[in-house]
Amino acid sequence: MKKLLTKGQLAVLIVFGVLIVDQIIKVWVKTTMYWHESIRITDWFYIYFTENNGMAFGMEIFGKLFLTTFRLAAVGLIIWYLARIIKRNYKTGYIVCLSLILAGAIGNIIDSVFYGVIFSESTHSAIASFVPVGEGYAEWLYGKVVDMFYFPLIETNWPEWIPGIGGDHFIFFSPIFNFADAAISCGIVALLLFYGKYLNKNIQPLAEEVKE
């Protein structure tokens, strides 16, 4: 039976599929919700609109320009590597994992590169809207990444007898993330769980190829 998709076509489909879903969600949140507005879905799942300057799950470690430049370089490297392993007919699951990681990285790059120049600023009292290019809340490469998924699975207080943190409020899984972050995380976890040995075995020849 003839295959419906080649490995290259599958990779492209995954990347574009993730990007479309990711951007639809982000634009909807950005243009319909106030900054830090929350929509309760269940007791353990909220749509909570926030933005960050940093990396996945709201971490802010390095400067904004550095992070955007790093993301662009990383995406270029992943695209090159993905093209090579597709050409060499690597395992389909391995290609799927890398495609998810690539799609997630591009999804957040779109926010960083473009959102600052095409959106007005989101605040507690104003919902953002599209504006003419260059009239947004920031310059090129300085846009903020839109996050919205919040899963406070367990919300309680630490027991009083624990030194230092006794009585403090505690939330299990407090990061707020987006669809692109989820794609990156799923790709990395699946890669490490199912293709760890395969990765170590096959990345060395490509590394040597780069040196040459």
* Residue entry with tokens 């293709």: 195
CA 153 – CA 147 distance, rounded (Å):
18
Q: Are 173 and 151 in contact (CB under 8 A)?
A: yes
Active-site residue 147, yes or no? yes
| Given the residues 22, 43, 111, 147, the one annotated as active site | 147
Active-site residue 111, yes or no? no
Return the axis-axis angle of helices 64-87 and 7-32, rounded to nearest 10°: 150
- In single-letter form, the type of residue at position 11 comes to A
* CA distances from residue 18 to 8, 26, 31, 185, 194 in whole angstroms, order as listed: 16, 12, 20, 13, 21
Q: Which residues are catalytic?
A: 147, 181
